[in-house]
Structure 1
Amino acid sequence: MRAPAALFALPILMLLGAPAIAHEVRPAFLDIRETAHETFAVLWKVPAQGRMRLALDAHLPKQCIERETPTRSFEGSAYLERWTADCAGGLRDGKIVIDGLKATLTEALVRIEYKNGGTEVGRLLPEAPSFTAAGNQSYLEVARTYFLLGIEHILLGFDHLIFVLALMLLIHDRWMLLKTITAFTVAHSITLAGASLGYLSLPQRPVEATIALSIAFVARELLKSRPTKARLSETYPWVVAFAFGLLHGFGFSGALKEIGLPQSDVPLSLLAFNLGVEAGQIIFVAGALAIAWAGRTMVGLHAALARRAIAYGVGTSAMLWFIPRIAGIAA
């Protein structure tokens, strides 16, 4: 039975209509490290394109005084500021504010590392652009922040979601669907861990362009599918999922590096982020199956027409992502 074949059109086509923002909702990152008693090295990282950056500014608590004028630079797809601050009495109970966050759709991650080995992480949102330092956090609180970041990344990573959607449309039964999603999960977990820990490396721009091509490939397989003759991608969809999952893992690792993977607690933050990605993926798959059921039983949606329309939408979105990404490589 082709359970996901009648995936209901409206919400999915809305998803396909957002190609321009795939992987563009990147968080800002404020890294604060105590280098001496009440002295902190600060790194402020803001998403940028070329020489244009988001109009975000980080403000430390009032008791913090800059030692020197911050150094400013553009590196890759980010704008960076670095400075050193003296904070009388430390940061405990001090308020950190990200000015301009309310006017954006992004968020900011604040990470503080204290000289005594303690850390704390705060996730600032447009509706809550300030963070009060507690002086330390439990491992559970740090893991929770990275878990939520993982969920958010996959649910806003439209290219990853559309790839999963296209795979679902290729599958004949739910057991094969389970194997396929598991293969994708295992594969991207391998490269996410390897790249984040420094064992594997690929340039991010070519990776993003190839991810777009992987989506176009699966869309083409959908359109070439015939009831009388199963294609290789339909017979062994888990192989396709695993192969391209390895590639998508590099995309996830690039996002994790963008938000600042803490070197002192890599296993914890990496595990929590990956579990968040998996939780978000499960939410998406469950939602897609629920929409499929609604399309079949409530609306009487024509499965073949819906499947073909979605395939064209997936392929079009993939190429709309691919063109600017390949242009970015050539620039």
Structure 2
Amino acid sequence: MIRLLALLIGLVPLIAAGPSAAHELRPAYLDIHETKAGDFAIVWKTPALGEMRLGLYVRLPETCQPIGEPVNSFEAGAFFERWTARCPDGLQGRSLTIDGLRTSLTDVLVRLASADGSTQVARLTPEMPSLAITASQTTFEVAQTYFVLGVEHILLGFDHLVFVFALMLLIRDRWMLVKTITAFTVAHSITLAGAALGLISLPQKPVEAAVALSIAFVASELARSQSGQRRLSETYPWVVAFAFGLLHGFGFAGALKEIGLPQTDVALALLTFNVGVEAGQLLFVATILLAVRASSALLAIPLGPVRMTASYMIGTMSMLWLITRIESFWS
């Protein structure tokens, strides 16, 4: 538990540095959309290290030629490059490569949308920096890609993990913790599916700010629980988890909307992304429980001061998130 608190303390400078610092851990994103036969609109988004651009560059097949000059911009802690390319023979059966990826620590999400509505989504890594472009993905490839994206998204989503961590500190009873995590899962699955399918929607920036506020609320409840007064969040924590889970689902949907869903396997992609999110969440919960058990066996640490310290650390981080996300409304 002491190590976990040290981790939280160490994250404060990262969060205080603003959204740009957090993006160092996020993947780059390449979107290629075929506007008409042989013409492709390309958006290349790379994370920033402060004000420095990561040295990652898109290498299209040799038959592709740019049309006009690219348009560059810096938005929300990332560099964007937009241009149009003409590939007379199309992209099917060819490959693209991300130069510089082998020596980096990030991944690249690639989405290709054809003029006929079909899509291909892939994740490139330092070990596999090239993509063979196919007419369509197999069912297994779709499931594997979206499952990994779901796991990756939750494990890089510090705000969602901190919320779950705060719930774990707040709830003393293991059975109640299971019900609470289940309620959180069911709730964000509902809004994730609804938002990804376009049935419901909320603007992303206010949602991200509200997610930070939800973490601050749980941190406040955790701090007040030390007084011995029984609160609603302790008596019925699954109600709080369900209510805020609906909100967090919109946050998950934001990432899925950016990636997009394959037209031929919408249900499968949505299901496996959500299963990936839950697998990552369960992995996090199991890791925390094992760490707590190991710490309790090795060190006799009273949990009261630990919970109080953690509540202030979590509250501080969540308010820093809230401030930076409100500031982003005008950026």
Number of residue-to-residue matches in the alignment:
321
Counterpart position of 1:121:
121
Amino acid at match of 2:123: R
Larger mean CA deviation between 257-266 and 169-178 belongs to 257-266
Write the distance in 1 (CA, Å) between the matches of 2:297 and 2:103.
Answer: 42
For 2:29 and 2:135, locate their aligned partners in 1 and report how far apart those are by CA, in whole Å. 19
Question: Within 5 A, what are the aligned runs for 1:35-114?
Answer: 39-47=38-46, 56-66=56-66, 68-69=67-68, 72=71, 77=76, 79-88=80-89, 90-92=91-93, 94-102=94-102, 105-113=105-113
Structure 1 pair 86–255 and aligned structure 2 pair: CA distance change class (3 A): same
Residues 189 and 45 (structure 1), Cα distance of their counterparts in 2 relative to 1, 3 Å cut = farther
Q: Which moved more, 1:289-298 or 1:76-85?
A: 76-85
Matched ranges for 1:1-331 at <5 A? 8-15=1-8, 17-18=10-11, 19-20=14-15, 21-22=21-22, 25-33=25-33, 39-47=38-46, 56-66=56-66, 68-69=67-68, 72=71, 77=76, 79-88=80-89, 90-92=91-93, 94-102=94-102, 105-113=105-113, 119-226=119-226, 228-331=228-331
Unaligned runs of 5+ in 1: 1-7
- For structure 2, list consecutive stretches of 5 or more residues without a partner in the other structure: 16-20
Aligned-pair CA distance for 1:120: 3.5
Aligned equivalents of 1:326, 1:36: Cα separation in 2: 39
Q: Larger relative contact order (C-alpha < 8 A, sep ≥ 6)?
A: 1
Question: Which segment is superposed worse, 230-239 or 269-278?
Answer: 269-278
Query: Residue type matched to 1:43 in 2?
Result: I
Identity %: 53
TM-aligned CA distance change 1:302 to 1:125, over 3 Å:
same
Secondary structure (helix, strand or coil) at the match of 1:29 reads strand
Structure 1 vs Structure 2 CA RMSD: 2.9
Residue 162 of structure 1 and its aligned partner are, at CA, apart by 0.6
Counterparts of 1:323 and 1:102, CA distance in 2: 36
Letter in 1 for 2:43: W
Q: Specify the code of the residue in structure 2 equivalent to 1:99.
A: D
Asked if the contact 2:27–2:47 (Cα under 8 Å) also holds between the matched residues in 1, the reply is no
> TM-score, normalising length from structure 2?
0.85
After TM superposition, give the deviation of residue 325 of structure 1 in Å.
1.0
Residues 113 and 313 of structure 1, relative CA distance in 2, 3 Å threshold: same
Contact 1:106 1:126 in 2 (8 A): yes
CA contact (8 A) 2:64 2:85 kept: no
CA contact (8 A) 2:42 2:84 kept: yes
